[in-house]
Amino acid sequence: MDPHRWRLDGQLALVTGGSAGIGRAIARELLGFGASVLIAARNGDALEATRDELAEEFPDSEVSALVGDVADDEQRREILDWIEDRGEGLNILINNAGGNLTKPADDYTEAEWREIFEVNLFSAFELSRYAHPLLTKHAASSIVNVGSVSGLTHVRSGAPYGMSKAALHQMTKNLAVEWAEDGVRVNAVAPWYIRTRRTSGKLADPDYLDEVLLRTPMGRIGEPEEVAAAVAFLCLPAAGYITGECIAIDGGFLRYGF
């Protein structure tokens, strides 16, 4: 077995929304496989704390941090300019940043639902397009989009969130086909409930938690590291013939009928 198939040594990865939760877990996982990682997020204090934590855990690896709101085009360009100035291109792009506001469909203002699309979908599309010239500097590179089971079936997330994630999954398929000839693989993951700060409020309600667990065959909430493991696998050379896929990280939720 070629051990290099299971390593990311010498590769540079950009992880958006990398200061907490799933994004931080993804950054840690990629560092564990030998990659250099740039994390980007809006909250500067949380971002710096995460960078320091990861740098201490992986003293022999390069961990960088850039404050930036990927929903803002100028800040998206600044992040990619920083990478371009390094002169080494980009090997891995993880479009993880996202957000939501849960309401009945009739209650959203236009500004609210458009913001959900801007953060969850348009930022990923534009970052992918801006990163494309940097990704193609290498013979093989990878994009992984963090979608959601809400893009595959109805959950209580609110319609705009589900719509934006469904579009993200479709974007994954389109870019995978368009960019295959450029050596860029594009895949996605679709988590169900994962134990993060964002989900802690709802899961603190014991009745709601019981409902979630009853719909989850494995009978537990997922951990950020379990999403991160799937994301990292999709970036590895060992996954070099996988593109256009969306892997559910859901404890069997999507397969549960009656």
Active-site annotation, residues: 161
Token pair belonging to 1: 């077995």
For 187, the enclosing helix (H) or strand (E) is: strand 184-191
**63 strand-pairing partners:** 37
- CA 59 from chain centre, in angstroms, equals 24
DSSP collapsed to 3 states, 45-91: HHHHHHHHHHHHHCCCCCEEEEECCCCCHHHHHHHHHHHHHHCCCCC
Using alpha carbons, select from 92, 47, 88 the residue that is nearest to residue 66.
47
CA–CA separation, 161 and 5 (whole Å): 36
Q: Which conformational region is residue 110 in: left (phi greater than 0), alpha (psi within -120 to 50 degrees), or beta?
A: alpha
Pairing of strands 246-249, 141-146: unpaired
Compute, in degrees rounded to 10, the torsion defined by CA atoms 99, 102, 106, 112: -30
**Order of strands across the sheet with 92-95?**
63-67, 36-41, 12-16, 92-95, 141-146, 184-191, 246-249
SS3 194: strand
